[in-house]
C-alpha cells in the first residue's frame, strides 16, 4: 500500500472559491465572520452552505441539512476547496448520506481537523485523494490578522508547504522513514475501527493528536491499534498535541506521551513527538495522502513532502 499514488486537487489561486460547511457542531455568524474576512483578504471568494448557521441540539442543523450542504459543495464545480467550520461531533453521521462519485473524478481539497478526521479517513481509505489537516474557521484569529496556523493553511492550499522542522523531544525514537502521510484525531480513528473507513496504516507515516481524553482511554486506544496490527507496519509515527488530558482519582501513572511511547517501543520506525498540530494554538497544516519523509535527529525532526 505504501506505493499508491493519491489523487490531488489543483492548488488554489487567487479568485478561486472556498466553500464553508458545518458538518458537526453548530457555529454562529459572529464566530465565523473573522475567518470569512481573512479568507477574502487572501484573495478568495467564500461560499457558505445554505444551512451553515442552522441548529439542531448541538449540531449545525439536522443530518439532512448538514449532508445537503456538504453534498452541494462536493458537486459544485466552482468550489475548489471545502473548509469545515469547526469540529465537535457529527461528521460521521453524514457518511451514509453522501455521494463522492463526482468528487472522486474531480477532487477538491477537504480541510479541517478533529472531527473532520472522519473525512480524512474516508478519502485515504476509499477514494485515494489528498486532503488537508489544518486550522478551521472557529480557530482563525479573531483580530483578522494572520497567525502561524492560518498562514500554514494558506501555504498548504496554495501548494507552498514543503517541510516542517520541529524540536527534539526526549521520547523521540531517532530513525528515518518514508511513506504516505495519514492520520488525524486519535479518538476518531479509534471510533472508525471495524468500519469500511478504518484507516489503512501499512507502510504509512501516521500522525495522531487528541484532546480531553482520559489517560486510560489513550492506553486502551493504543492497545487496540497494537493488537489490531495498525502499528507494527508503520514507516513512522508523528505525535501532535495531546492536550488537556484527564486522569482518574487513582492516577494512571503515565502521561499520554509516555503511553504512546511505551506502545511503540518494540518497533524500529522513527517516532517524533511534539509536532505543532492539533487542539492547540499552533496548529500547522498537514497534507494527508502525500508521500513524505520523516527524519528524527538528535536536535530536531523534519517532515518533508517529497
High-pLDDT (> 70) share of the chain, % = 99
Asked if residue 89 and residue 59 are part of one domain, the reply reads yes
Tell whether 96 is covered by a domain: yes
Among 20, 276, 279, 300, smallest CA distance to 151 is for 276
The answer on 144 and 34 residing in a single domain is yes
Domain-embedded: residue 67: yes
Contact present, 207 and 275 (Cβ < 8 Å): yes
- Confidence at 1, pLDDT banded by 50, 70, 90: very low
pLDDT in tens, 246-265: 999 999 999 999 999 999 99
Residue 245 and residue 266 in one domain? yes
Q: What gap in Å lies between CA 91 and CA 272, rounded to an integer?
A: 29
Q: Is residue 4 part of a domain?
A: no
- Average pLDDT over the chain, rounded to whole? 96
User: Does residue 2 surpass a pLDDT of 70?
Assistant: no
| Residue 213 counted as domain residue | yes
Determine the structural domain holding residue 281 and report its residue range. 163-305
The Cα–Cα gap between 241 and 210 comes to 6
pLDDT in tens, 39-97: 999 999 999 999 999 999 999 999 999 999 999 999 999 999 999 999 999 999 999 99
Burial 264-297 (b: 16+ CB within 10 A, else e): beebebbbbbbbbbbbbebbbbbbbbbbbbbbbe
| Domains of the chain: total | 2
Give the residue-averaged pLDDT of 193-211: 97
Cα–Cα distance measured from residue 188 to residue 205, given in angstroms and rounded to the nearest whole number: 17
As a whole number of angstroms, the distance between CA 71 and CA 118 comes to 15
- Which residue, of 134, 157, 180, is where some domain finishes? 157
Query: Does residue 177 sit in the same domain as residue 301?
Result: yes
- Of the residues 157, 189, 223, which one is the last residue of a structural domain? 157
Residues 105-159 have pLDDT tens digits of 999 999 999 999 999 999 999 999 999 999 999 999 999 899 999 999 999 999 9
Identify which of 74, 77, 23 has the alpha carbon closest to the alpha carbon of residue 51.
23
What's the pLDDT at 144?
87
Boundary (domain end) residue, out of 105, 138, 157: 157
pLDDT band at 4 (very low <50, low <70, confident <90, very high): low
Residue 143 and residue 107 in one domain:
yes
Q: What is the mean predicted confidence (pLDDT) over 21-26? A: 98
**Residues whose CB is less than 8 angstroms from the CB of residue 208 and which lie 6 or more positions away in sequence, other chains included:** 183, 184, 185, 186, 189, 237, 238, 239, 240, 260
Predicted confidence at residue 58, as pLDDT, reads 97
Neighbouring residues of 261: CB distance < 8 A, sequence distance ≥ 6: 171, 271, 273
Express each pLDDT in 150-183 by its tens digit: 999 999 999 999 999 999 999 999 999 999 999 9
- Asked if residue 300 and residue 167 are part of one domain, the reply reads yes
pLDDT band at 5 (very low <50, low <70, confident <90, very high): confident
Instruction: Report if residue 107 sits inside a domain.
Output: yes
3 in a structural domain: no
Could you tell me the strand order of the sheet in which 286-288 lies? Answer: 45-48, 17-21, 79-84, 109-111, 131-133, 286-288
Q: Are strands 109-111 and 45-48 parallel, antiparallel or unpaired?
A: unpaired
124 with 173, same domain: the answer is: no
138 and 171 assigned to the same domain: no
3-state secondary structure of 276: coil
Partners of 266 in the β-ladder: none
Q: For residues 177 and 300, state if they share a domain.
A: yes
Q: Both 177 and 98 in a single domain?
A: no
* Average confidence (pLDDT) over 283-297: 97
Amino acid at each position: 500500500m505504501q506505493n499508491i499514488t493519491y489523487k490531488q486537487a489543483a492548488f488554489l489561486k487567487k479568485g478561486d472559491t472556498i466553500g464553508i460547511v458545518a458538518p458537526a457542531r453548530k457555529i454562529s455568524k459572529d464566530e465565523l465572520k473573522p475567518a470569512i474576512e481573512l479568507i477574502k483578504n487572501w484573495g478568495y471568494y467564500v461560499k457558505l452552505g445554505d444551512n451553515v448557521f442552522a441548529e439542531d441540539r448541538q449540531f449545525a442543523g439536522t443530518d439532512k441539512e448538514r449532508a445537503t450542504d456538504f453534498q452541494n459543495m462536493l458537486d459544485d464545480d466552482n468550489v475548489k476547496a471545502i473548509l469545515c467550520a469547526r469540529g465537535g461531533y457529527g461528521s460521521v453521521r453524514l457518511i451514509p448520506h453522501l455521494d463522492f462519485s463526482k468528487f472522486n473524478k474531480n477532487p477538491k481539497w477537504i480541510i479541517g481537523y478533529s472531527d473532520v478526521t472522519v473525512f480524512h479517513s474516508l478519502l485515504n481509505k476509499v477514494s485515494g485523494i489528498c486532503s488537508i489537516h489544518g486550522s478551521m474557521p472557529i480557530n482563525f484569529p479573531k483580530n483578522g490578522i494572520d497567525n502561524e496556523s492560518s498562514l500554514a493553511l494558506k501555504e498548504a492550499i496554495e501548494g507552498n508547504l514543503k517541510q516542517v522542522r520541529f524540536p527534539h523531544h526526549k521520547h523521540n525514537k531517532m530513525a528515518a522513514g518514508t511513506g504516505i502521510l495519514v492520520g488525524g484525531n486519535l479518538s476518531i480513528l479509534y471510533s472508525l475501527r471495524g468500519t469500511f473507513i478504518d484507516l489503512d496504516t501499512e507502510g504509512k507515516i501516521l500522525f495522531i493528536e487528541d484532546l480531553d481524553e482520559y489517560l486510560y482511554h489513550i492506553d486502551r486506544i493504543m492497545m487496540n491499534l497494537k493488537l489490531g496490527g495498525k502499528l507494527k507496519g508503520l514507516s513512522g509515527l508523528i505525535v501532535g498535541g495531546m492536550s488537556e488530558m484527564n486522569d482518574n482519582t487513582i492516577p494512571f501513572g503515565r502521561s499520554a506521551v509516555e503511553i504512546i511511547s511505551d506502545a511503540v517501543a518494540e518497533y524500529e520506525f522513527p517516532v517524533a513527538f511534539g509536532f505543532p498540530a492539533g487542539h492547540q494554538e499552533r496548529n500547522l497544516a498537514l497534507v494527508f495522502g502525500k508521500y513524505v519523509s520523516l527524519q528524527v535527529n538528535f536536535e530536531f525532526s523534519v517532515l518533508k513532502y517529497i
